[in-house]
Amino acid sequence: MSLISLFINAGLSAGGAVVCYRLILDYIPIFIARKMYGNDQCKVSNAPVPEPMGVICAAVYLIVMFMFIPVPFFEWIGMESTEFPYAKLLAILSGLISISTAILLGFADDMLDLRWRHKLLFPTLSSLPLLMVYYVSGNSTTVIVPSIVRHLIHPIAVLPITINISFIYYIFMGMVIVFCTNAINILAGVNGLESGQSLVISASVSLFNFVQIYRFGTENTTGFWHHIISLYFLLPFTACTAVLFYFNKYPSRVFVGDTFCYWSGMTLAVVSILGHFSKTLMLFFIPQTINFVYSIPQLFHLVPCPRHRLPKYDPKSDTVSMSIAEFKKSELKLLGSIFISICRSIGMLYVKEFEKDGEIYLRINNLTIINLVLKFGGPMHEKTLNDVLMTIQILSSCLAFFIRFYLASLFYDVVE
Ligand code: UD1
Ligand code: MG
């Protein structure tokens, strides 16, 4: 039955993609007329580009999901004798609440340019419905101790040792949600990057789910259901995102906006929690995690952070190069200067010191992996830059599969 529902879900997703395509074409002039657009900062024309087009795809996604809700439960509808699987329905509904609130937050950010503390607080709160349902459904919070550690603790133990980390697991899941909702938005600013990275991650996570369904083999295991429910959310998302990418890739005809970035991050976090693979999801977010860690000094204002960190456009050569933050050395916090010295010594930062009006100034590249690629690769065309970043994303998906299925089997006796 779950597999039939999955086919219906795939059919609805394809329908959703067609509707997205039509609606985006219809809404491009409406967005421009309503002055809902951004300026492409890496083009000569600086032309207005409709933004946030992610809201159209998110609306179609929600409609597809709402239409799909009864499908997995057809066999119970009208049957009074058998017990209805409320926990499964609840899981779908709680996932949709968290996704809807992320879309709301994103749209508010596009309209109002929210502050950082709101962007962190709101997803934390919107994770609560999902975590609450996770709790009442009696889902596991145990982790398996790697076999090497097990042999150190208990040399003759044969069975795997598990530890119930209880509330720490909930804190971890809450952090996954907050991280994912923001991670895609701070790796942005190049045509096709926000939608492209989301497409690669969602396609990879879908593939991971299909592999797991194949490995479980039978519908009667809970693991099978976890990966099925994950796909229920992911297939419509992947379909809508593929259409959005078509319009957002170089040269962008639409911008996705923060609405898309938060929707995308939250959807991926939700599927990993409902699918019980939040640790594995982090493997698919390796570039975003590196970008986040590298960004920390600017995000927490240890180093001055300009409003935009996207690459700098050179109209003469039609290329982009790393963008620069310039500030007085005296403005730098202690942790900021430690970070700069470390990154400089390992060649991970462009730093130039100069004197102006008797003050020492510093010029550093803005702290994103986009600028890091440009530091090592030199100025390049915007499309080439996005292709490089997409290749990195695809390679890190390959690495994720390698770690999840090969390396994990070296450290654990059973890899589910
Ligand atoms: C985040 C980044 C910011 C980056 C911006 C680009 C952090 C803390 N913030 O801010 O550094 O500059 O995203 O999206 O890392 N744009 C383009 N070309 C594109 C995509 C966007 O020129 O391919 C420009 C357009 O002017 C568009 C604007 O970026 O209107 C969107 O920026 P917005 O999403 O509001 O920025 P933030 O998410 O706040
Ligand atoms: Mg943004």
48 C-beta closer than 6 A to ligand 1: no
Q: Give me the residue label for tokens 């490089």.
A: 388
Average of pLDDT values for 109-122?
89
Q: Which residues surround ligand 2, an ion (CB under 5 A)?
A: 185, 258
* pTM (two decimals): 0.95
Residue 138 has pLDDT above 80, yes or no: no
pLDDT confidence tier of residue 283, bands split at 50, 70 and 90: very high
For residue 8, which of 55, 74, 56 has the smallest C-alpha distance? 74
252 C-beta closer than 6 A to ligand 1: yes
Residue 409 has pLDDT above 90, yes or no: no
For residue 244, which of 184, 332, 168, 181 has the smallest C-alpha distance? 184
Q: What is the dihedral of CA 156, 162, 168, 171, to 10 degrees?
A: 130
Q: Give me the residue label for tokens 């992911």.
A: 234
Q: For ligand 1, atom 30, which residue shows the shortest CA distance?
A: 38
Give, in degrees to the nearest 5, the angle at Cα 363 between 359 and 369: 155
39 C-beta closer than 6 A to ligand 1: yes
Q: For ligand 1, atom 21, which residue shows the shortest CA distance?
A: 189
Angle between helix 286-299 and 334-345 (nearest 10): 140
38 C-beta closer than 6 A to ligand 1: yes
Q: From the CA of 261, which ligand is nearest?
A: 2
382 C-beta closer than 6 A to ligand 1: no
367 C-beta closer than 6 A to ligand 1: no
Residue 106 has pLDDT above 80, yes or no: yes
Query: How high is the pLDDT of residue 165?
Result: 77
- pLDDT tens, position by position, 145-189: 777 777 777 776 666 778 887 889 999 999 999 999 999 999 999
Tell me the residue length of the chain: 416
Q: For ligand 1, atom 15, which residue shows the shortest CA distance?
A: 186
Q: Which helix (H) or strand (E) holds 38?
A: strand 37-39
| Domain chopping of the chain, boundaries | 2-75+86-284+384-410, 312-377
Query: How high is the pLDDT of residue 78?
Result: 79
CA distance 306 to 211: 43
Q: For ligand 1, atom 36, which residue shows the shortest CA distance?
A: 308
CA 262 to ligand 2 center in whole angstroms: 9
pLDDT confidence tier of residue 33, bands split at 50, 70 and 90: very high
CA 108 to ligand 2 center in whole angstroms: 12
For residue 263, which of 208, 192, 182 has the smallest C-alpha distance? 182
Determine the residue of 35, 255, 323 to mutate for testing ligand 1's pocket, defined as the one with the most ligand atoms within 8 A of the Cβ atom. 255
Instruction: Please state whether beta strands 312-314 and 359-365 pair in parallel, antiparallel, or not at all (unpaired).
Output: unpaired
CA 407 to ligand 1 center in whole angstroms: 37
Residue 264 has pLDDT above 80, yes or no: yes
* Residue percentage of the chain with pLDDT more than 70: 97
CA 310 to ligand 2 center in whole angstroms: 11
CA 110 to ligand 2 center in whole angstroms: 8
Average of pLDDT values for 98-113?
95
